[in-house]
Amino acid sequence: MRICVYGAGSTDTKSKYIDESYRLGEEIAKRGHSLVFGGGSTGVMGAVSKGAIDNNGKVLGIAPEWMEKFEGICRECDEFIYTESMEERKNLFLENSDAFIIAPGGIGTLDEFFEIIVLKKLKRHDKKIIVFNMFDYYDPMFEMIEFMMEEGVVRAIKDKNTFKIADTMERIFEILEDE
């Protein structure tokens, strides 16, 4: 299975997220899956790719050429696709992935997450989406989504068919491999 992981590229990311993200990449590789990601060498993205690479996993990085000005690029990928734009990058994530895991991240990660949800709601794909809520990172976002639904400005998106929430590594792979 080709698993796309969205996550922070920030060099300021706390070590607990880095360590758990490394374990995620490690687990992806050990289970025989391949990683698709944003191509960065820092933060959550860098940790996931390093975990996969260190365990002989297949890794595809996708990023605009100009992204290197903002963060390091992972040079150890099996394949790297350079794009002209972020839009092209997100389209290639969708095209080259069978499932999505949203790890802790910032504005860019939220952009990718919400776009992949919208595309699923609009029936542009039917791939699994899992929010990896390590250390309760996304709890405030879930509260905001609940509030938006209560106010009637967002249709229900937290249902079993749109995305699932996993607080543990074990739960991620139960969802991916068993459900």
By residue range, what is the domain housing residue 82?
2-174
Question: Does residue 149 lie in a domain region?
Answer: yes
Q: pLDDT tens, 63-92? A: 998 988 888 899 999 999 999 999 999 999
CB 59 within 8 A of CB 34: yes
Question: Does residue 179 lie in a domain region?
Answer: no
> Residue 179 has what pLDDT?
65
Confidence of residue 157 (pLDDT cuts 50, 70, 90): low
The DSSP symbol for 114 reads H
Verdict on whether the full-model pTM lies above 0.85? yes
| Over residues 32-44, mean pLDDT | 96
**Pairing label, strands 164-166, 128-132:** parallel
Question: Does residue 12 lie in a domain region?
Answer: yes
Question: Does residue 57 lie in a domain region?
Answer: yes
| Over residues 24-44, mean pLDDT | 97
| Over residues 19-30, mean pLDDT | 98
The burial class, CB within 10 Å (0-12 / 13-18 / 19+), for 145 is: middle
Confidence of residue 158 (pLDDT cuts 50, 70, 90): low
Domain count, the chain: 1
CA angle, residues 175, 1, 92, in degrees to nearest 5? 110
Where residue 159 sits, what CATH number does that domain have?
3.40.50.450
- Quote helix, strand, coil % in the chain, to nearest 5: 45, 20, 35
